[in-house]
Every structure is written in C-alpha cells, then in structure tokens.
Amino acid sequence: MLTMHCRKTGPISLPVADLMFLQATGNYCWLHWKNGQRLLLPRTLKYYEPQLPDALFVRPHHNCIVNIRYIERMERIYPDKGGLIHLRSGVALPISRRRWLAIRQLYTRLKTDH
C-alpha cells in the first residue's frame, strides 16, 4: 500500500498491485494505474519510492518509477546512451545510461522466472 496524507481526510492508502508507473512533474507525481486511471499527488518521487516494494518497482530515470510487471519490452537507443521502457499500455519511459544494465538484468530475470 502507498500512503499519502490529505489535509481534509487524513491518511489515505492506495493499492500498488495495479500501479504501472509514477512520473514526476516538479514537486508533484502522476500515478498511473493499469485501468487508465491517473492521480496527481503533491509529493516528489523521493517521498513515494521508499513506500513501494523493491521487488516490483525500479527507478529507470530521475523522473519515473516503473512496476516491472508491466514492462513489455526494453529498447536501447544508442550503445553509449540509455533507452526506453515500453509498457503494456503503450507508454514509453526513459532509462538512463547508468541504470540500463541493472534494469535489463532485473527484467531478463523476471521474464525467465515467469
């Protein structure tokens, strides 16, 4: 569960099983679920990252966190640069050059396990 604090209602818990990715927009985050629903929350990715299960979520770039279960494929743009993560929803998110290898290994391990 992901917890956020609302001024009017207090703490709210959100399920993360169907959460596809989080994307930063300044000091806010868009949360995107597999059913197409999105929610804008007033915190940075740094706030939400420790609340997410390490086994499911990776941070491929400074502006997003991705649920690895929803990765369809990975694409390397240039050998010396990062690439893109293509999600099942059709969304493509960046992978930084420095994080490419670690995320690729994790994704490959996940695919062979299932």
Highest CATH level, class, for 2-113: mainly beta
Using CA atoms, how far apart are residues 37 and 35, in angstroms rounded to an integer? 6
Using CA atoms, how far apart are residues 76 and 86, in angstroms rounded to an integer? 11
Q: Where exactly are the structural domains of the chain?
A: 2-113
Q: Which residues pair with 13 in a beta bridge?
A: 3
Number of other CB atoms surrounding residue 17 within 10 Å: 11
Rg (CA), the chain: 14
Provide the token pair at 91: 């969304």
pLDDT in tens, 83-93: 999 999 999 99
Percent of the chain with pLDDT over 70: 92
Give the residue with greater pLDDT, 5 vs 59.
Answer: 59
